[in-house]
Amino acid sequence: MKNMYPKNGRVILHVDMNSFYASVEMAYDPSLKGKPLAIAGNPEERRGIIVTCSYEARKFGVKTTMPLWEAKKLCPQLIVKRPDFERYRAASMGMFDLLNQFSKLVEPVSIDEGYVDITESFELGSPLEIAEQIQKRLIRQLDLPCSIGVAPNKFLAKMASDMKKPLGITVLRKRDLPTVLWPLQVGEMHGVGKKTADKLKGIGIHTIEDLAKGNDIQLKALLGINGLRLKERANGIDNRPVDPDAISDFKSIGNSTTLPKDVSNQQELFQVLKGLAEKVSVRLKRKKVLATTLGITIRYKDRKTVTRSRKLLNPVSTQEEILQLAKGMLVSNWTGDPVRLLGITGTDLVENDHAVKQLDLFTYERDAKKEPLIDTVSKLKEKFGAHIIEQASNLSYEQKRQIGTETSFNKDFLQVEKRKKDSP
């Protein structure tokens, strides 16, 4: 069996659960199987938004992020359920527990997908046999369908898992690039969002093959170092290891300033926040990320320090958005005593192309005016496996709720996985 594995290379699986939230609901209530089902917030209200839907619902044109009223117009028999995060968390943990039985190298990248390096798992069967075992056991033990990509690296495994849904298993090797990957439009490539695809088309790059054969100098001038990285990916080059410790990473971008004198005038404090918001915004944009949690630090004359954070419905990066949120948090938490230091910090960072906006109908319409709506839709659908990360905190979940911070389900899950990994 070892002969079916490369001598020097790796074999990596990307396991992507199909329509995860809806599938979990169907597993919990089999009467829902085969019916058009949607998971949505505020199902009693017209402004509810589709979070995910079953493949039966998709046949009617129902899509993720679609307003609920529009989905029901397309599919009057649509069954709508509120998200049950505890239920999804339990199912996700069961999924990753199963994956860990096939390899010690399992990297969760979100609630419903992860990479598995099976290079040293040859005693369990061939790569294809292992993929089939995983798929069958997820169905048998959890009643949950998945698609699996089998490839020599993470990029190709991710591309492969997207090629057959639901319940697909796709093998993608480097020698398959010219016939399978290169003919695709560049916008279909993992890591290329709509804006990047538009930029590439502006220099005559329309397909993944065009990108694979692109000019290095031109790509770097257009996209910076990311342009060269994307060209490598298009040529099937990706040396990133499957890293179980990736869930331990935490990132934040923040700025604080000690005031020249203690300030108790609200308008003066607002001006300080304006400068801080600008600095944080510039750094977020430079790193091409958005913050999904915003924190504010207030230190008083007596050095007493108060830190508060707020989980955001929509990721932010602009100075205006950050400033308005920071102002509101200052007004809510400032005692009126003289302030010695102010700070703003963005945490739970997500890459621009990976950002998911949980939109109600009103923000949905407003965003559509700013940029093509398809940009928002594609970001959600692509599910780039964003490394959703959370800043370390000593607060319990209930404490966070008391101060207005709701921990996202994805990040909760990754935190639990980290604790499980760290425990003896």
Catalytic residue ranges: 113
191's CB contacts (< 8 A; 6+ apart) are 155, 230, 233, 353, 384
**Site of tokens 């300030």:** 263
C-alpha count within 13 angstroms, C-beta hemisphere, residue 363: 11
What is the rounded distance in angstroms from the CA atom of residue 353 to the CA atom of residue 356?
Answer: 9
Which of 59, 284, 20 is CA-nearest to residue 147? 20
Whether the CB-CB separation of 253 and 389 falls below 8 Å is answered with no
Dihedral sign from CA coordinates of 94, 99, 100, 105: negative
Binding residue per annotation — 245? no
Binding residue per annotation — 84? no
What is the rounded distance in angstroms from the CA atom of residue 319 to the CA atom of residue 368?
Answer: 20
What is the rounded distance in angstroms from the CA atom of residue 261 to the CA atom of residue 301?
Answer: 9
What is the rounded distance in angstroms from the CA atom of residue 301 to the CA atom of residue 29?
Answer: 58
Q: Which pair of tokens denotes residue 137?
A: 């056991």
Cis peptide before 83 (omega within 30 of 0): no
What is the rounded distance in angstroms from the CA atom of residue 82 to the CA atom of residue 405?
Answer: 20
Feature table: binding site: 16, 112
Feature table: binding site for Mg(2+): 16, 112
